[in-house]
Structure 1
Amino acid sequence: MELRHLRYFIAVAETGSLTVAAERRLHTSQPSLSRQIRDLEDQVGVELLSRSARGVELTAAGKAFIDHARLALNQVDAAIEAARQAAQPYKQRFALGFLTGQEMTWLPRAMHILRDELPNVDVTVSSGYSPDLAEGVARGKLDLAFMRAEPDFDLAYQVVSQEPLVVLMPSDHVLASRDVVSPHDLADYPFIAMASKAKVVRAVIDAYLERSGIEIVPTQTVDNPAMVMSLVASTRSLTLIPAYLENLMPWSVVSRPLAGDVPQIDLAIGFSKANMSPVLKLFLSRVDDLITRPAPGP
């Protein structure tokens, strides 16, 4: 039995199709893939996959086999990575995460803090939704993330900036001719709300609408910034977004400031108190420099 047998078997099981697995995952021919699967079943001694009108499905034996196959491949991948790391001079790892779009402002500042350490540190960067970043920090996949202070995770947070909410609308919306938008105008048009996954932003928006005496029944809820912008443009709706998302807006939408007492949303760095990384300790010791350093120019 060879590793390719396991990889081929898992690809077929996950796609539910010999054709899809062959063409899109494995880049081989279907007859060759079928032959490899038969060889694997001959070596195991039982049928692992069954074909039906719905596609290819795992047999009871296949379901028992697949978890062990995945574990075996994971162990091989871990062994390869360990060997590669051992063959190189030791370098510390520091994993940074950013709320999607915030890396444009904060990555240059973060790298300035780390610049003296970069010869000895492998810095990795990723972006995503705030709850996903919080989970990554909590599980040790990220050392530090620029995100919202997510209440469902036992992390330490330090606020690095605040930004206002702004009104997002189609570029040719009647309100686009105004310099500012009254919160009471929001009730006159279809409104898209943030989904529950964007818990922190949704709470700030809901509190603001309640404080302003505005009752809105959202027509849709979304948590993806790109989807928010697409829906605003296509359904001619309004929504409230943190101002940093203006950096990501396509031509089809515009933003306008809110009139009056505009709510602010915190951006924080989140990290685990249990993380003893010396690079994290250095980074945290220079947070004041991070905050006061000018934003990168155009």
Structure 2
Amino acid sequence: MELRHLRFFVAVAEEGSLTTAAEKRLHTAQPSLSRQMRDLEYEVGTQLFLRSAKGVDLTPAGRAFLDHARLALAQVEAATIAARRAAEPAKASFSLGFLTGQEMDWLSEAMHILRDELPNIDVTVSSQYSPLLADALMRGKLDLAFMRPEPNLPDLAYKVVTTEPLVVVMPSDHRLATRKVIAVQDIAQETFLGMSKTAPVLQAIMADYFERVGLDIHASHEIDNLGMAMSLVASTRGVTLLPAYAQNFLPWSVIARPLAGEPPTIDLVMGYHKANTSPILKLFLSRSNDLIERVRKKLRLTAK
């Protein structure tokens, strides 16, 4: 039995037709394929197909054989990939993480920093809540993350890349929507949507802000992520405070307005483990000031 017999068998089984498998999948003559399948049945020692004018169906033996044929082919493919990787010099790797939604502004510039190194390294990118990014940095799963400065993690180092004001997010037809700026006192009697523990830094900033302005505001619902924020604002007709970058993701049914006075702000940082000795991380950090300035210029142009 040869590998081609298994490949031919799987193609026929999946297509349900010798003719279709021969023409569309295997690019061989149908009589030759039929002969190959008869040879396979002879070697297995039992009938694998029931042939009819409409095509072919698998016998119970054929169905059992199909699972093992697929597994054998998958194992051969895995073995081939492993052999090819072993024959090639190992590439360095660099793992980037992003607070969900921040990729829009920062990913392209991050890759720009690495452009000269890309042929020689494997770069992976992931998107997640900030606490989970911090955990991945601690466990060595990530080299660098654009995230919030999570507290009580002395092994992590942070570099601020931007500081954003919080804005008021509300339904587009809300009674406050016609105003250019919103006084925080005006939202005190509204249904307020707070942050869940997936965003502890933002949660703490909101609490400190409300205490500073002397308002006792309690959340009617808690938000896990940006998508949930937009959905809850639209469905509950509530309001919330979100970092300004959230304005990139507002649907037509939701709008944002700046807060009057001195709004609370939140930092976006580049976080990394102090013990990480990756030369690619060192290179990235050495060029990070240029990255920060390029993104700031883009954001200023977008805001005009």
| Same topology, TM > 0.5 | yes
Q: Do the aligned partners of 1:109 and 1:295 also contact (CA within 8 Å) in 2?
A: no
| Letter of the 1:173 counterpart | H
Show the 5 A alignment for 1:1-298: 83-153=83-153, 154-293=155-294, 294-295=297-298
How far the C-alpha of 1:81 sits from its partner, in A, is 7.4
Q: Deviations over 1:204-231 (max 9, x none)?
A: 1111111011111211112221111101
Q: Which moved more, 1:108-117 or 1:160-169?
A: 108-117
Change (3 A) 1:177 1:287: same
How far the C-alpha of 1:80 sits from its partner, in A, is 8.4
| Letter of the 1:133 counterpart | L
CA distance in 2, matches of 1:175, 1:244: 21
Q: Do the aligned partners of 1:192 and 1:220 also contact (CA within 8 Å) in 2?
A: yes
SS in 1 for 2:298: coil
In structure 2, stretches of 5+ residues that fail to align are 1-59, 66-77
CA distance in 1, matches of 2:206, 2:81: 45
CA distance in 1, matches of 2:290, 2:142: 21
Change (3 A) 1:136 1:85: farther
Change (3 A) 1:83 1:213: farther
TM-score by length of 1: 0.71
How far the C-alpha of 1:88 sits from its partner, in A, is 2.8
Aligned-residue sequence identity (percent) comes to 60
CA distance in 1, matches of 2:274, 2:85: 27
Q: Do the aligned partners of 1:183 and 1:259 also contact (CA within 8 Å) in 2?
A: yes
Q: Deviations over 1:164-216 (max 9, x none)?
A: 00001001101110000001011121001001221100111111111011111
Alignment RMSD: 2.6
What residue is the counterpart of 2:41 in the other structure?
none
How far the C-alpha of 1:151 sits from its partner, in A, is 1.3
Change (3 A) 1:186 1:269: same
How far the C-alpha of 1:146 sits from its partner, in A, is 0.1
CA distance in 1, matches of 2:198, 2:158: 19
How far the C-alpha of 1:105 sits from its partner, in A, is 0.7
CA distance in 1, matches of 2:293, 2:198: 31
CA distance in 1, matches of 2:129, 2:283: 26
| Letter of the 2:122 counterpart | D
Q: How many residues align?
A: 230
Change (3 A) 1:240 1:140: same
Q: Deviations over 1:107-133 (max 9, x none)?
A: 121112111111111111111111111
Q: Do the aligned partners of 1:232 and 1:238 also contact (CA within 8 Å) in 2?
A: yes
SS in 1 for 2:106: helix
How far the C-alpha of 1:236 sits from its partner, in A, is 0.4
Q: Do the aligned partners of 1:165 and 1:241 also contact (CA within 8 Å) in 2?
A: yes
In structure 1, stretches of 5+ residues that fail to align are 1-30, 37-77
CA distance in 1, matches of 2:207, 2:191: 16
CA distance in 1, matches of 2:134, 2:198: 12
SS in 1 for 2:188: helix
